[in-house]
């Protein structure tokens, strides 16, 4: 087993355990912290696949900005003091069963598909994930979607302020 495979399995186990802890933690603050660890594991995967720009953006945008926003909202509401009301047991049971069935079906489709057999996602090599190449394509071929994204952000900003404002 090479070092790359060992890192892959460690990151995968970390991602799955963090994901499970996010949905099974009682305290929402712990959920946020586990979600941050999940994002770091996914960023590790990006670095492994040499997608350096996305790894850094994932850490800055998700683990840095969005998670701080979540923490602020949770602490603003003081949710950890009031326990979340329990869902009925059979509802939880059916949720887990249906999610597990979805997992089973999708995994068996992937296992039996001939299309995906023998295909390799190259790790540690390749230069398409570097800032230079991504920037060149982003500002030439994808310039219009990029500008539309800025309009989207502006409207999201205005929308958040309008929704969050106290009514007179």
Partner 1 sequence: MPIQYYIGLAIALFCIGVVGVLIRRNAIIVFMCIEIMLNAANLLLVAFSKMHAALHPTVANAGIDGQLFVFFIMVVAAAEISVGLAIIVMVYRNVHSIDVNFLNRLKN
Chosen residue from 6, 92, 143, 147 binding partner 1 by CB under 8 A: 92
Cα–Cα dist 56/18, whole Å:
20
* Size of residue set near partner 1 by CB under 8 A: 82
63 binds partner 1 (CB under 8 A): no
CA distances from 111 to 13, 116, 124, 131 (A): 20, 8, 25, 34
Minimal distance in Å, beta carbon 129 to partner 1? 6
79 binds partner 1 (CB under 8 A): yes
Q: Looking at residues 139 to 158 of the shown chain, list those that interact with partner 1 (rule: CB under 8 A).
A: 142, 145, 149, 152-153, 155-157
Chosen residue from 5, 6, 10, 147 binding partner 1 by CB under 8 A: 5
Q: Looking at residues 93 to 132 of the shown chain, list those that interact with partner 1 (rule: CB under 8 A).
A: 94-96, 98-100, 102-103, 106-107, 110-111, 116-123, 126, 128-129
39 binds partner 1 (CB under 8 A): yes
Structure tokens at 22: 């996010």
164 binds partner 1 (CB under 8 A): yes
Tell me the three-class secondary structure of 51-108, residue by residue: CHHHHHHHHHHHHHHHHHHHHHHHHHHCCCCCCCCCCCHHHHHHHHHHHHHHHHHHHH
Residue count (the chain): 168
């Amino acid at each position: 087993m090479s070092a790359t495979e060992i890192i892959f399995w460690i990151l995968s186990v970390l991602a799955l355990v963090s994901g499970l802890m996010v949905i099974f933690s009682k305290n929402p603050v712990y959920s946020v912290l586990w979600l941050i660890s999940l994002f770091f594991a996914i960023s590790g995967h990006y670095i492994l696949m040499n997608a350096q720009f996305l790894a850094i953006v994932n850490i800055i945008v998700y683990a840095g900005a969005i998670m701080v926003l979540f923490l602020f909202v949770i602490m603003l509401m003081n949710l950890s003091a009031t326990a979340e009301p329990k869902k009925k047991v059979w509802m939880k049971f059916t949720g887990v069963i249906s999610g597990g069935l979805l997992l089973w079906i999708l995994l068996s489709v992937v296992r039996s598909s001939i299309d995906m057999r023998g295909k390799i996602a190259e790790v540690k090599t390749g230069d398409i994930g570097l800032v230079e190449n991504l920037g060149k394509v982003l500002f030439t071929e994808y310039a219009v979607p990029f500008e539309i994204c800025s309009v989207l952000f502006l409207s999201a900003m205005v929308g958040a302020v309008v929704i969050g404002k106290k009514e007179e």
